[in-house]
Amino acid sequence: MEENRKEYTLGTLAELLGISLQGDPEVKVSGIATLAEAKAGELSFYHNPAYIYDLKTTSAAVVILSTAAADDCSANKLLTDNPYLAYAKASRLFETSSASPGEIHSSAVIDSSARIGKQVSIGPNAVVEANVRIGDHSIIGANTVIGKNSCVGENALLYPNVTLYHDVIVGTNAIIHAGVVIGSDGFGFARDDKVQVKIAQLGGVSIGNDVEIGAGSTIDRGALDDTVIENGVKIDNQVQIAHNVRVGENTVICGCSAVAGSSSIGKNCIIAGAVGIINHITIVDEVTVTAMSLVNKSITRKGCYSSGTGLSESSLWKKNIVHFRHLDKLNNRLKTIENAANIKNSKNNKN
């Protein structure tokens, strides 16, 4: 990566990040690393007290941190109330571009009816079908396929081996990782005796601005109406979004979660990893669901929700699950005793 490394003076960094520098504005940094790994000439950050030792001993040229922690740092300092956010912004300054702007590889197959914006890059063997529109400054990776009538906004980044079916709309600043499929058929059938008769999926997919979609995720097109991903949604790897789902603004869905058909997730939710959400339910705004939970009913109040049993040693677990299968009986046994002992616990007996 060396050839493309970016370099900034601390003065420039402070300006770009909009935070104040305590130190030498002429010092240059050309990389970013953890406190423990940072070398001279590199930037680091401190926001988690677990790393206080690393802060005190870091070789970083400059550290992003809060004023409260400044005394524990002998390097140059970039001071801010939110070091993690400033680190996020700083990290973007050290990215190296993955494509040359405006280069359309000769092996790409682009239909003559497609309208390609200015400074668009299209990688080798990419396929752009009829009536596709691609906004200015977007990058389409190698071997990516964009189906007819689909539309990609400005400044979008589609990595290699992405598949957009027909009539898919992707907003500006989208980041779509390799292996993603958008617009595949929703899973809809009507039974005719034992045979499943396919319901044609005639809706589309509408993805807002500033959405990121992780590697291998799949988003199905709607049956009649569209599947909708609103602005600012962030979707991790191998997430499955079924037909006619709606995901509200700025919601985050972590890896391997699945949302079944026609369910709706509110704004500013956090769906942790490997969560399952059944079909035709609604989750309100600002809900958190913890890892590997099954959401099997609508969530009508904001808050944090979980399911599962927690982890045990398997030998103990085997003993316990036997009783899980008899919990109803166990409750009845308890009631019998309560009655025998004449214990009135009306509240509990409602169990």
Q: Based on the number of CB atoms within 10 Å of its own CB, is 270 exposed (0-12), middle (13-18) or buried (19 or more)?
A: middle
Q: In sequence order, which residues have a C-beta less than 8 Å from that of residue 247 and are 6 or more positions away?
A: 228, 229, 230, 233, 235, 241, 253, 259, 265
At its nearest, how many Å lie between its own copies and the CB of residue 87? 7
Rule CB under 8 A: choose which of 57, 74, 300, 351 binds its own copies: 351
CB 8, min distance to its own copies, A? 14
**307 lies in the site for its own copies, by CB under 8 A:** yes
Catalytic residue among 47, 243, 280, 323: 243
Which residues, listed in sequence order, are joined to residue 192 by a DSSP beta bridge? Answer: 195
- Give the nearer residue to its own copies in terms of CB position, either 74 or 349: 349
Please state the φ and ψ torsions of residue 194, each to the nearest 5 degrees.
-95, -10
Are 13 and 93 spatial neighbours (Cβ–Cβ below 8 Å)? Answer: yes
| 305, 288 Cβ separation under 8 angstroms | yes
52 forms part of the interface with its own copies (CB under 8 A): no
Can you give 211-259 as a three-state secondary structure string?
CEECCCCEEECCCCCCEEECCCCEECCCCEECCCCEECCCCEECCCCEE
The one segment of 14-22, 51-59, 63-71, 250-258 that binds its own copies by CB under 8 A? 250-258
The residue from 135, 171, 208, 232 that contacts its own copies (CB under 8 A) is 232
Q: How far is the CB of 154 from its own copies (least distance, A)?
A: 17
Q: What is the rounded distance in angstroms from the CA atom of residue 63 to the CA atom of residue 155?
A: 31
Min dist. Cβ of residue 46 to its own copies (A): 13
- Determine if 191 is a binding residue for its own copies (CB under 8 A): yes
Q: Does 16 bind its own copies (CB under 8 A)?
A: no
* Structure letter (DSSP) for residue 299: B
Q: Is 43 helix (H, G, I), strand (E, B) or coil?
A: strand
104: nearest Cα among 94, 89, 114, 119: 119
DSSP-derived pairing of the beta strands 109-110 and 127-128: parallel
Q: Determine the interface stretch with its own copies among 16-24, 59-67, 71-79, 160-168 (rule: CB under 8 A).
A: 160-168
The HSE-up count of residue 333 (CA atoms within 13 Å, CB side) is 6
6: its two tokens: 């970016």
Does residue 51 touch its own copies according to CB under 8 A? no
Identify residue 335 by its one-letter amino acid code. Answer: K
Q: Which of residues 104-143 bind its own copies (CB under 8 A)?
A: 105, 107, 109, 123-125, 127, 141-143
CB of 30 to its own copies, least distance (A): 12
Q: How far is CA 22 from the centre of its chain?
A: 35
Task: Decide if residue 237 touches its own copies (CB under 8 A).
Answer: yes
Does position 69 interact with its own copies (CB under 8 A)? The reply is: no
How far the first Cα of the chain sits from its last, in Å, is 62
274 touches its own copies (CB under 8 A): yes
Among 9, 12, 185, 284, binds its own copies (CB under 8 A): 185
Angle at alpha carbon of residue 183, lines to 180 and 188, rounded to 5°: 120
Residue 87 binding its own copies, by CB under 8 A = yes
Tokens standing for 229? 């991903």
**Residues 193-212 close enough to bind its own copies by CB under 8 A:** 194-202, 210, 212
* Binds its own copies by CB under 8 A, chosen from 16, 40, 70, 88: 88
Asked if 181 interacts with its own copies (CB under 8 A), we say yes
Smallest distance from its own copies to CB 331, Å = 5
Q: Which of 52, 225, 282, 284 binds its own copies (CB under 8 A)?
A: 225
Q: Under rule CB under 8 A, how many of the chain's residues touch its own copies? A: 142
Q: Which is nearer to its own copies, 136 or 286 (CB)?
A: 286
Concerning whether 243 is annotated as a catalytic residue, the answer is yes
Minimum Å gap between C-beta 239 and its own copies is 9
Beta bridge partners of 198: 189
Query: Does residue 33 touch its own copies according to CB under 8 A?
Result: yes
Q: Active-site residue numbers?
A: 243
